[in-house]
């Protein structure tokens, strides 16, 4: 009876023949073409040049990569992750922002609301996991945006729900556990729970701390190092299983990050009357839908007339959006757009009163943003690949490409026939040289202005630093026993250093501690700014 059940659970002879024709052995098991795809959200391309990423730098030296990969417009998380998964521009697959209004459905997509965002009707195109499962290639998708939406009602072998608090070690364990699942010819193989050939994992940590602290902060350095260490653990796990030359590993990111500052804020109310608008999509760029459609062109003309010479914003109708954005052929794209230049942000007064905050010396949060022109150097992402599908000279360099190409690359790496998409790049990739042929990291580090609240020259006095350290010590001593904190909305932080001993009960002690420490840091930054004549001159020039 057991033998009969086992035979029923086994693949057919045809499936086994197809499998073994392309399988590689690690000495104990046969592996069909297998690819691990890891996305490091918010990992800017030049983070590789900060001496924080020994694993990734070694990965570059062993594999093939461009100096950067271009995201798609708008350079925000959900559109770009779904573009990487489908090979389609956002205008084609329909996820045109993290938030947007669909005039046909009369519904709003909001990425942090699963009740709305996980409805299948939002998600066009065919993502990697659907393409694979349709062709009997099993997949495991770990927290990738869109993977929980039951697209085309296709059953996925393994889907892990989003968990923003998951520690990086758990991601490593999950990936290794999936690789340890018995293959089709192994003892204990099961048809319904086979070893996946595609493992796609999403890592949000760098993006989260890039927003909270800024891409040039001290805190982000540790987060970058932690992400690199996680990848080191994955590569070590592959080595321990003798899979280094058997499993493909592709590491990507979705976009970069730019530093924000109160000196680079624009009040929406200074540009347009919000009472004329029915919906505002996106952020930090704004898509505007007038209540009265007859007002669209008058509003556009007024914006151009009064603010068209502002070098810090772009003003476009959907119909005259720059062609390189590929952001016009979808009704979900608002008819009128104000797009800030990298490092700038447009906010409503209810979110952040720019004039009052400047007078009070308040600091704008988040400290880092993205969503800008996808070709701006601060928005550059990464692509690094290694494995049997990439049999190139170690350290091979290829020309930069846009992330619409990733879908075809991953499909080819595991033998899938791609669905319709906007990409044209196929395997084998074509190197143009080696990275060490013309290594010039200075030119690959983009200019990211730090703004008036960043300490750039004068340091606080020893007495001030002593007082600060004393405050930090008292904070640490009184900050135990607190619960987890949820992510905060854009806000202003007071310049006063008032570190209090009363602690909100809903915050984790470390989050509370770092919040209070950050208040002190902001106050010190403001003090330095006010007492530094060089910074005063700089502020006048910026204004």
pLDDT digits (tens, 9 = 90+) for 231-246: 999 999 999 999 999 9
User: Is 424 an active-site residue?
Assistant: no
Residue 99 has pLDDT above 50, yes or no: yes
Residue 10 has pLDDT above 70, yes or no: no
Q: pLDDT band for 8, please (50, 70, 90 cuts).
A: very low
Residue 343 has pLDDT above 70, yes or no: yes
Q: For position 489, what pLDDT does the model report? A: 44
More confident residue, 141 or 498: 141
pLDDT digits (tens, 9 = 90+) for 105-117: 999 999 999 999 9
- Measured in degrees and rounded to the nearest 5, phi and psi for residue 486 equal -90, 160
Helix (H) or strand (E) holding 69: strand 69-70
CB atoms < 10 A from the CB of 125, how many?
25
Residue 481 has pLDDT above 80, yes or no: no
Q: Which tokens go with 122?
A: 């939002």
- With residues binned 3-state (H G I as helix, E B as strand, rest as coil), the percentages for the chain, rounded to 5, are 40, 15, 45
Strand 313-317 to strand 396-397: parallel, antiparallel, or no bridges (unpaired)? Answer: unpaired
Q: What is the dihedral of CA 397, 398, 403, 405, to 10 degrees?
A: -130
Q: Give the whole-angstrom CA distance, residue 75 versus residue 254.
A: 8
Where does residue 375 rank: exposed (0-12), middle (13-18), buried (19+ CB within 10 A)?
Answer: middle
Q: For position 439, what pLDDT does the model report? A: 58
Q: pLDDT band for 184, please (50, 70, 90 cuts).
A: confident
Q: For position 510, what pLDDT does the model report? A: 45
pLDDT digits (tens, 9 = 90+) for 214-227: 999 999 999 999 99
Residue 346 has pLDDT above 80, yes or no: yes
pLDDT digits (tens, 9 = 90+) for 277-327: 999 998 899 999 999 999 999 999 999 999 999 999 999 999 999 999 999
CB-side neighbour CA atoms (13 Å) of 457: 11
CB-side neighbour CA atoms (13 Å) of 527: 14
DSSP 125: S
Q: pLDDT band for 176, please (50, 70, 90 cuts).
A: very high
Contacts of 441 (CB under 8 A, 6+ apart): 46, 49
Q: Which tokens go with 131?
A: 């393409």
Mean pLDDT score of the chain, rounded to an integer? 84
Catalytic residue among 35, 53, 77, 514: 77
More confident residue, 13 or 230: 230
Q: For position 448, what pLDDT does the model report? A: 86
Instruction: Look at 123-127, 318-322, 482-486 and tell me which has the smallest mean pLDDT.
Output: 482-486
Q: pLDDT band for 446, please (50, 70, 90 cuts).
A: confident
Instruction: Look at 110-114, 131-135, 399-403 and tell me which has the smallest mean pLDDT.
Output: 110-114
């Amino acid at each position: 009876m057991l033998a009969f059940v086992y035979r029923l659970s086994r693949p057919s002879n045809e499936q086994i023949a197809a499998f073994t024709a392309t399988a590689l052995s690690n000495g104990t098991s046969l592996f069909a073409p297998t690819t691990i795809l890891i996305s490091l959200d918010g990992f800017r391309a030049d983070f590789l040049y900060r001496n924080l990423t020994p694993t990734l730098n070694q990965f570059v030296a062993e594999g093939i990569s461009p100096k950067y990969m271009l995201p798609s417009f708008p350079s925000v998380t959900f559109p770009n992750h779904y573009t990487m998964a489908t090979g389609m521009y956002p205008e084609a697959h329909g996820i045109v922002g993290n938030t947007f209004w669909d005039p046909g459905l009369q519904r709003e997509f909001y990425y942090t609301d699963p009740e709305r965002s996980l409805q299948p009707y939002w998600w066009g195109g065919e993502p990697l996991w659907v393409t694979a499962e349709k062709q009997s290639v099993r997949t495991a998708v770990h927290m990738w945006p869109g993977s929980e939406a039951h697209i085309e009602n296709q059953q996925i072998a393994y889907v892990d729900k989003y968990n923003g608090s998951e520690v990086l070690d758990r991601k490593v364990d999950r990936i290794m556990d999936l690789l340890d699942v018995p293959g089709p010819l192994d003892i204990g193989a099961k048809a319904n729970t086979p070893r996946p050939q595609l493992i796609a994992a999403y890592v949000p940590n760098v993006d989260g701390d890039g927003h909270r602290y800024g891409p040039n902060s001290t805190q982000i350095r540790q987060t970058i190092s932690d992400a690199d260490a996680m990848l080191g653990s994955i590569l070590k796990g592959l080595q321990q299983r003798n899979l280094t030359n058997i499993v493909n590993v592709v590491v990507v990111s979705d976009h970069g990050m730019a530093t924000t500052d109160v000196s680079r804020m624009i009040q929406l109310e200074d540009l347009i009357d919000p009472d004329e608008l029915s919906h505002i999509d996106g952020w930090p760029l704004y898509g505007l839908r007038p209540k009265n459609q007859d007002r669209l062109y008058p509003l556009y003309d007024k914006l151009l007339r009064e603010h068209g010479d502002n070098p810090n914003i772009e003003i476009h109708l959907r119909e005259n959006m720059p062609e390189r954005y590929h952001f016009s052929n979808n009704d979900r794209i608002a008819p009128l757009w104000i797009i800030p230049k990298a490092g700038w942000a447009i906010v409503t007064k209810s979110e952040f009163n720019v004039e009052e905050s400047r007078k009070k010396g308040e600091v704008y949060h988040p400290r880092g943003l993205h969503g800008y022109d996808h070709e701006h150097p601060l928005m550059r992402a990464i692509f690094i690949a290694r494995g049997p599908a990439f049999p190139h000279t170690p350290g091979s360099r290829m020309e930069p490409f846009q992330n619409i190409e990733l879908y075809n690359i991953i499909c080819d790496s595991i033998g899938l026939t791609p669905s319709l998409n906007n990409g044209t790049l196929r395997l084998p990739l074509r190197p143009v040289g080696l990275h060490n042929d013309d290594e010039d990291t200075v030119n690959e580090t983009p200019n990211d202005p730090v703004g008036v609240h960043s300490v750039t020259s004068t340091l606080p006095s020893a007495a001030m630093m002593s007082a600060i350290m004393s405050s930090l010590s008292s904070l640490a001593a009184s900050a135990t026993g607190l619960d987890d904190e949820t992510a905060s909305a854009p806000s202003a932080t007071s310049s006063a250093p008032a570190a209090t001993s009363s602690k909100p009960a809903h915050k984790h002690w470390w989050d509370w501690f770092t919040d209070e420490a950050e208040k002190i840091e902001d106050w010190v930054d403001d003090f330095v700014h006010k007492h530094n004549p060089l910074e005063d001159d700089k502020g006048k020039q910026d204004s």
